[in-house]
Every structure is written in C-alpha cells, then in structure tokens.
Amino acid sequence: MKEVAKNVYQIALFPRNGINCYVIDDILVDAGIRSSANKILNAIKHSDITKHVLTHAHPDHQGASSIVCTKRNIPLLTSEIEKEHAESGKVIYDYPNHRHLIAKFQQRYWAGSGHKVSHLLREGDEVGSFTVIETPGHSKGHISLFREKDGVLIVGDTLVNMNLLTTIPGLHEPPGLFTTDRIENRKSIHKLFNLKPKILCFGHGPVLYDKGEFEQFMATL
Ligand SMILES: [Zn+2]
C-alpha cells in the first residue's frame, strides 16, 4: 500500500496503476477484478478494515468484493442504484452495449459473484472522514468520496487519469463503451471540479496532486 495522504492508501492492482483500489481510514474502497482478491487481502492483512464501499458495481471494481467481504467478515456498502448489480453480480448490463465482446469478457472473467449490500449510501453521508458525492453518469448510481479539509477526492471512474489503451497518464473522460450516460457524467465531472479537489485518486491511472491539470482539462470539455 502506498500512502497518498493522511489515512489514505492506494493499492495498485495492475501495473502502471491500470486498476486501483484504496483504503481510507478503516474502509476499503473498490476491489479490482475477481483475481485481485489475494493481492487485496494481502495488502490489508495488518489493517483494521471495518467496511467495504463501492464507487460503482462494475467488474473492475467489484470483482473481489464478495471474496474480501466474506474473508474479512465486513459489510458491503453501495448507493441504492448500484445495490442491485452488487447483489446479483450482473455488472455489465448498464453499459451502452452489454453484448459487446469486451463487456461479455469482463462479466465472465473479471466480475465477482454477488454479495449482500448491508447499508446504502447517498449524497452527504459520511464515510470515515469522507463525504459521499453522488456522481451519476459513468454508471447510474456512481458515487465519489471527498474530504474537504485536505481536498482528497476518491474519483471512482467519473474521470480517469490514463489513456486506457496506451497507459500514458493524463486526464480523460471514461471510455464511452463502459459509460451509461456521457452527458450526465460530464455534469458529474463539473460537480467534482467545483469541489476544488487537491489530491485526486482514480480507479484507473496514477494519483494526481493537482497543479492546475484539472482546470486545463475542464477547458477542453
Ligand atoms: Zn467503471
């Protein structure tokens, strides 16, 4: 685990930060793909984790959720809209085209089994020292997490910080192939920008200690 800010740690699950999850306070946020389970369990073995939160129930975020929750005996928390997918384990059906070959591949090889959601999160709820920000668009019930006092933002997939084909770092909107409503997601990007975050933690790509990059990106939207 790599320390990002006070009580915020990144677990890089893929090379070049291709897929990340995070520990904030005593909470695991997101859980990679199914085969990430051992890596996550190993990373958190000395941590006193008490819950697991999903930014959204896509196969590269909920893949290991059920295994980790079961092994560590911790509850799973999602937004109300993501609950259905997190519980059923059917996690690609909000993609614009769930019949796409890549979507089918993800459902088959990345997605984890469903897991009971114990508690629902909504705008303004407190998750450790963070606050829930509803950021729909990439998925219908997507949430981000923000800590105002030092500007740490768990972005989820509202924005990504790498080109997912070349892996070169840089801010991008998430791929259309996996984004339910791009217009709605763009509104959510504006919502996050207005929070003036200082440290941005992405599902995909390295952490951004913002020195104006977010503002530059907004000018291109
Ligand atoms: Zn996603």
pLDDT of residue 164: 87
129 CA from centroid of ligand 1 (Å): 24
> Strands of 152-156's sheet, edge to edge?
126-127, 130-134, 143-147, 152-156, 199-202, 208-209
17 CA from centroid of ligand 1 (Å): 15
DSSP state of 109: I
d(CA 208, CA 36): 23
Q: Helices marked H in the chain — which ranges?
A: 37-43, 65-72, 80-88, 101-105, 182-194, 213-220
Residue 190: which of 162, 166, 169, 159 has the closest Cα?
159
203 CA from centroid of ligand 1 (Å): 8
User: How confident is residue 165, by pLDDT bands cut at 50, 70 and 90?
Assistant: confident
Cβ neighbours around 118 below 10 Å, total: 13
6 CA from centroid of ligand 1 (Å): 26
56 CA from centroid of ligand 1 (Å): 7
Q: Is 128 helix (H, G, I), strand (E, B) or coil?
A: coil
**pLDDT, average across residues 4-15:** 97
pLDDT in tens, 28-68: 999 999 999 999 999 999 999 999 999 999 999 999 999 99
**pLDDT, average across residues 14-40:** 97
Residue 134 has pLDDT above 90, yes or no: yes
41 CA from centroid of ligand 1 (Å): 22
